[in-house]
Each structure stands twice: as structure tokens, then as C-alpha cells.
Structure 1
Amino acid sequence: MRLVVTGREGQVAASLLEAGQRRDGIEVVTLGRPVLDLARPDTVFDALAAARPDIVVSAAAYTAVDQAEDEPDLAFAVNAVGAGKVAEAAAKLGVPVIHLSTDYVFDGTKDGAYVETDATAPLGVYGASKLAGELAVAAVNPRHLILRTAWAYSPFGKNFVRIILGLAANRDEIAVVADQWGNPTSAFDLADAILVSSAVLHGDRSFARFGVYHLVGTGDTNRSGFAHHILATSRALDGPYAAVKEISTRAYPTKALRPRNSRLSTAEFEGTFNWTAPDWHGSTVDVVSRLLIAETKCTPTL
């Protein structure tokens, strides 16, 4: 099975590359700029066709949440038009597309975990552009899985775990919001779930349960609780540590509004693909451990 993934530098693309190397019968190929550029739709079909996918994983995206408020045209070009072109190319090649989306399609006002049928109401440009991408994907390729995830982290790219550890290396105290709730999600776990669902799609030509699914780590917490666990893990491993000061979202204003509640129910994905994400605590330990080991290897000895 050959998975062709859009994007080379993203957390999911890097995690899929690594996961694919550990699995027999799976080849993961990543495509990025300039060969495939979502802001240049004319590049998409030829790049994907040349890669000969069995399944396309649409992972590349414009993810600068605050910057999107100043660059709405670019955000929509990549996240909506570009995503639609990837799905359309997959349809022309006769293969399914697995498209990654986000909790930001919701406004965060629901009590409890969101399910796939809940009404969407993005708070900003980023969420609106990703929702438009979902609609574009579904319109052009009926064989689609749209996977909404949240609070992704990994040893790769910019993410909450890496930011917290970086701040702890230089500060005694870190202010973290305590009134935003969600499910921390390891990109390694996302990669595993994508490989499992890809195998189902590849092996079952009569598969009919295409559509939108939620896919996040098991268990929830708030941002400050996530930071506490990251730092406690780091301290136990002789890594950087700082105290966490819990603050409100109002005390940490950002250009784009964040949903206060990003919790997502994964029951539909679990029931369809017989796969459940590990508890986020353990997955966080794995990523923090790897980051600290990498940091140790990069530090010269005197």
C-alpha cells in the first residue's frame, strides 16, 4: 500500500514517514513545495499522479492561526481551494483521500465533547478556511475520510509541547491559560490511526462509511494541565522545568479567538475502524522523552 502525503514538514507527514518505515507492505511518500504547492493548484494533479498513490493523505495546510486573520486569501487558497484540488486529483486517480481538519471548525461553546453531527461555527479565518476545505473535499471525492483532530504535538515542527519545554529552559514560571479544554493528541498516534484506516480502505473496495470523523487522544485536560504534565515529565527526566501560573484566556489575548472547549468524541472512529488512541498522558511522556534525548545528543560535551 502506497500512501502519498501532501506536505513534508508537518507533524503528521513526518510521523507517517517514521511509522511507515516500521510496517511491512506500507510505503509512505511525502510531497511538498515546489513539486506540490497548494497555493498553486496547477501543480497538484501532476505531482500526485507521478507519485502513484493507493491512498492520498491530505495533510498540508496553512496553520498560522493568528496570522490567518491578516492573510485570509492565502488561508482560503491553501486550506479550501488547495484541499479541494487534492481531493479532486485523488478522485481522478480513482483513490480515496484522507483529509485532516481541526477542532477550530467549532466555536467551543458546547458542554461536553463534540460529535461529528454538531453544528459548526468557526470563530476565525483559520477555522472558516478549514471548514471550507472539508466542504470542498466532500464535494469532489465521495471516497473521503475527513479527520478532525486537536492539540496535536510531536517532536517535529512547532507545537505546544516544544513551546513549553523551550520556555522552561529560560524561565522559572510560565503563564498558561486554564479555561481552554481539549484532548492532547500525539501525531504518532494520528499516524497509527491513519495507517489503520488506510488499510481498511485499501482492503475493502466496498467500504461505505466515508465521511467526517473525530480523531484525538484519549482523555482531556485544560491547557495548564497539559503544561503541568509536560513539565513534570521533563523534570523527572532531568529536563527543563518551570512552575505553571494558571491564567484566563482574557489575560492572554490573541488576534484569533480560540474555542474554549475543543473536546471531541472519537466513538465513531473507534466503532468503524476498531482503533482507540492511547491515553494522552503516556503519549506525552513518549514525545517529551524523545525531545530530551534529542537535545542531549545535540549538546556538545566539554
Structure 2
Amino acid sequence: MAALLALALPAALTAAVSLGSVDIPVGEVWRVVGHRLAGDPPAPGTRDLIVWQLRVPRALLAAIVGAGLGLVGTAVQALVRNPLADPYLLGISSGASLGAVAMIVLGAGVGSGVGFGVSTAAFAGALAAFALVWSVARRGGGFAPLRLVLAGVAIGQFLSGFTSFLVLRAGDDQQTRGVLFWLMGSLGGAQWSQLTVPAVVVAGGLVVLLARARALNALLMGDETAAGLGVDVVRLRRELFAVTSLLTGVMVAVSGAIGFVGLLVPHVCRLLVGGDHRRLLPVSALAGSVLLVVVDTVARTALDTQEVPIGVVTALIGAPVLLFLLDRRLEPR
């Protein structure tokens, strides 16, 4: 499965760069990329600009964000022992969105989405939201995954409402429209300079989560069983808090809110490769990359007159697929 996805990712990236308002032949795409990688001067004409400056950074950012969403969804589902949990359901993305929007409205601007100010604000919002959800879920002692999910839904809705209020309070109508579009998910305006922070964070998150893969497997069997196997459950959860909040914060900062990827990708990959996180984590990252590259290409090319927010496309694809999977799993056997 991993090998198949590793082959599909370059194909999806090539198609993403080739297709658009101006279609560019695949051979020309690779010629431009090859010249640039070799350090040759840019070729005259607009194709070099379209391929190297506009479409390649966007396609790579889509791949990075998709991998990050796949990883964070896998980690969150292990944390709450629920295969249908995701950062949006637990309010983490709502906290990240609130932090990022607060920074944007205060003057950072939508186009500076990966700036350290916006990324830091999104991370802080994600971490604060997760901590609040967790503290509410832990009240009275013990840990109940259902209580955690319900707390996440309630707090996430509250934070989303506050984010909407903050956007409406912005004095610039153009800025308000830009932020609302960004909140629905957008990779428009991606630049080479925006790739470093998310790439480093996603790579680091993958390394950390893979190092704790056995502990994640044990956590799925319950806290007592995991502790009996030598896992420091409290420390593991703190690590997962930090990793998932950082991943979510950075992903939201660069792409806005993109739903269903973090929920659907780990769930489908678990059905295909099993629940062992040593396999599940890299497969989820690759599957998330391929999915978001394809979705972003569809979002750019579906309509001739305007770009469709990525979150709209993921919802239109993800909701029916999820309902189909739920129906299949609930069928009497």
C-alpha cells in the first residue's frame, strides 16, 4: 500500500502542475522543473513562471498539508480511542483558527499565513483549545472518550462562533472576504518561502509519532493495559497534545480549515493496512498527501470563473464516503 501511494504521489503532483486555466504538457512541466533543479537560468516566456513560481509551490504545499492532516488525525484517533475522531471534532482546529484569525485581523494579513506570528498564534490557540477540552473531559476523574468528543464539539462550536464574530468586526470588507474564504480552506498564493515551516513540522511530527508507535498501539487497548505494558500514559498524552496541537496549528495557519481529511484518511487506511501505527502513520501521511493534491487540483479547475475552497470539496467528497463506510460497518452480519 505504501509503495502504491509513493508512486501515486509524483503522478498527482505532476497532474496538479500540468492542469489549470492554462494546461501545460507533462513533458514541458518536467523540462522546466529539471532546468530549475539543475540551477539553469529561467527559460523565457510565461510557462516557467506558471510552473515553477505558481503551481509547483502550491502542489508541494498541498502534499505537505495533506500529510500533516493524515498524521494528526491518526494521532488524535489513538489518543481518544475513537476511529472517527479528528482535530475538528475535538475543537483543536477551531482553536487554531481563532488564534490565526486574531493575528490576521490584527494586521498580519491572509497572505502571510506561514509567518511565525500567525503560526505561533495558531499553535497557541490549538494547544489552549485542546487543554480546555481535555480538562473538561477529565472533570470528576477518569477518562471517557465520549465525554471528550462531546466537550470538543461544544467548545469547538463556541470558538468558531467567536472566530466569526472577530471576522465580522474587521474594518476592511476585502479582508473579511479573504479571511472567510481562507477559513474554508485555501492554498492560493502559495510561495516557496511558505514551505519550510510546515515541511519541518510535518517531518518532525512523523519522526516523533513513529518513535511512539508501539506506545500508541498499547494505548488503543486502554490506559490500564498500556500502563501494564510499561507505557507512561500521562507522559504519552502530553506528548500527543503537543504534537497534534503543533501540527494542527501550522496546517491551519498555511491552509485554513480543511475538514474530513484528518478524519477520513486514517479511518480508511486503518481498514486497508490494520491498526499497527508503524504502518498506519506513514501510509496515512502518504494517503493524505495524494488526496489533498488531487482535491486542490479539482478546486482550482472545477469552475472556469473562480476557485472553489478546498474545504468545500473535501466535505462534498468526505461526507458521502464516510456515510458509506458507516453504513457498511453497521450492516448486520
- TM-score of the two chains, using structure 1 as the length reference: 0.30
From the two aligned structures, give the one with the greater strand fraction. 1
- TM-score of the two chains, using structure 2 as the length reference: 0.28
Q: Please tell me whether Structure 1 or Structure 2 has the larger radius of gyration of its CA atoms.
A: 2
